[in-house]
Amino acid sequence: MSKHHVTTTINGEAVEFLCETQETLLDVLRNTLNLTGSKEGCASGDCGACTVIMDGKMVCSCLVLGVEAEGSSVTTVEGIADGETLHPVQRKFLEHAALQCGFCTPGFIVATKALLDANPNPTEEEARYWLAGNLCRCTGYDKIIRAVMDAAAEMRGEARAA
């Protein structure tokens, strides 16, 4: 079986890889590139644990083929922080204890960044519907939503909500 040669950009770096036709972007990220921060929870686009940003759009990397990454720009959870400086969304998740087991967390971090890139001032309802494709079984979403709203406020330069 011959493999496809793919040239792409991941977390700002030029990357080349070989993949088989049926391999998903998630398979490539995890098994070929060792970027294991994106998780496989369902492989059917229902849980959001593999969420990445591809050319500015939030996608489930389990629903994208590796070959589709050709010429695109992909941001994974590994590319959200700026070196040792956490992104405000990451910091707020920690401050609000918005994670328990932490398995869904990479997907939520990426999805929240995509939300706030698109809508810096979401209502709680907008945040809940945006994140409805990301399953969390531990938290009941309460602290996640609080972290998202607080991160949004901070990124808008507003004082932290009580």
Residue with tokens 């949004």: 152
- In the complex, least distance from residue 122 CB atom to other proteins, rounded to whole angstroms: 12
- In the complex, least distance from residue 97 CB atom to other proteins, rounded to whole angstroms: 4
32 C-beta neighbours (distance < 10 Å), count: 15
Q: Classify the C-alpha dihedral 141-77-46-113 as positive or negative.
A: positive
Is 106 near other proteins (CB under 8 A)? yes
Q: Pick the stretch among 33-41, 53-61, 115-123, 151-159 that binds other proteins (CB under 8 A).
A: 33-41
Distance CA 95, CA 86 (A): 12
Residue with tokens 């996640």: 144
Strand positions, DSSP E, the chain: 4-10, 13-19, 51-54, 57-60, 73-75
Site for other proteins in 110-129 (CB under 8 A): 125, 127-129
Is 152 near other proteins (CB under 8 A)? no
Q: Pick the stretch among 64-72, 105-113, 114-122, 151-159 that binds other proteins (CB under 8 A).
A: 105-113
Query: What residue ranges bind other proteins (CB under 8 A)?
Result: 20, 22, 30, 34-44, 46-47, 49, 76-78, 80-81, 86, 90, 93-97, 99-106, 109, 125, 127-129, 131-146
